[in-house]
Amino acid sequence: MSTPMVSIEGVDKSFGHKQILFGVDLTVEAGETVCLIGPSGCGKSTLLRCVNNLEEIDGGRILVDGSLVGYREHDGKLYELRENAACAQRTRVGMVFQHFNLFPHMTALQNITFAPLRVLREDKAAAREHAHELLGQVGLADKADAYPSQLSGGQQQRVAIARALAMRPKLMLFDEPTSALDPELVGEVLAVMRGLAGSGMTMIVVTHEMGFAREVAQRVAFMDGGRIVEQGTPEAVLGNPRNERSRAFLSAVLQ
């Protein structure tokens, strides 16, 4: 059997005295799209940040493409990675947040090429060529020289997706990427994500867009109280949830 792209094993996470994640287990295969759904504050975004080592876990293990995230193992013990090694790991994982966080003083093209030039030390001409390809992929081929202030929210989020893809990641994480957008702009971002899923990119998506989850995900995991309480195909979880909390949540959001 092939190695899963993501293995989350018994992960705990607390902030101070407040525990957020309780023994979370989740496996994501290469090329699979998994949507995390659930009420606000249930730990979805925290789990995503742990996968990218933006938050340190307090227990359990996370592996991406077979490698421990944030740690190395020696003689059965885990040792925290040094910052430069942890940063190198993050280059394999692209992350798109609720808010676009583009550099306001840079054009779309400059935002996309910044990390490949600075972090990967790519050739400038090659990085620019790849950025132009990515802008075409997200439907913004004519916006290379536009600044963020000249773009709509949906366009900015598509630039943010292109920026993440510029690092040639093995895995893409999306943390409610449409929640900050006006409703009429949501569709253009989801269309780009559908295309990525169709191309075989491995994706974990925190979302409240149940239509997207039903259409694109291979699996949906419902979280509540820092635990994954139900997971399965979209048809099973969204159409016939077994867990009482899942049924109550979905009956409210699918009205």
Asked whether the predicted pLDDT for residue 219 surpasses 90, the reply is: yes
* pLDDT tens for each residue of 57-68: 999 999 999 999
Q: Give pLDDT, residue 1.
A: 63
Per residue, what are the HEC states of 195-253?
HHHHCCCEEEEECCCHHHHHHHCCEEEEEECCEEEEEECHHHHHHCCCCHHHHHHHHHH
Percent of the chain with pLDDT over 90: 86
* pLDDT tens for each residue of 69-104: 988 888 878 788 888 888 888 889 999 999 999 999
What DSSP string describes 138-187? TT-GGGTT--GGGS-HHHHHHHHHHHHHTT--SEEEEESTTTTS-HHHHH
Distance CA 104, CA 163 (A): 14
Exposed, middle or buried, 252 (CB in 10 Å: 0-12/13-18/19+)?
exposed
Distance CA 142, CA 186 (A): 20
**Are the beta carbons of 35 and 213 closer than 8 angstroms?**
yes
Mean per-residue pLDDT, 143-172 = 97
Mean pLDDT of the chain: 94
Asked whether the predicted pLDDT for residue 208 surpasses 80, the reply is: yes
Distance CA 119, CA 212 (A): 33
**Are the beta carbons of 176 and 207 closer than 8 angstroms?**
yes
Query: Which one has a higher pLDDT value, 84 or 32?
Result: 32
Residue with tokens 């979209």: 234
pTM: 0.94
Mean per-residue pLDDT, 26-44 = 97
Nearest to 208 by CA among 35, 67, 61, 52: 35
Q: Which amino acid is at 179?
A: S
* pLDDT tens for each residue of 187-205: 999 999 999 999 999 999 9
Q: Give pLDDT, residue 255.
A: 67
Asked whether the predicted pLDDT for residue 253 surpasses 70, the reply is: yes
Mean per-residue pLDDT, 235-250 = 94
Q: Give pLDDT, residue 83.
A: 83
Distance CA 171, CA 200 (A): 10
Mean per-residue pLDDT, 123-152 = 97
Mean per-residue pLDDT, 210-217 = 95
Torsion angles phi and psi, residue 200, rounded to 5? 100, 10
Distance CA 249, CA 11 (A): 24
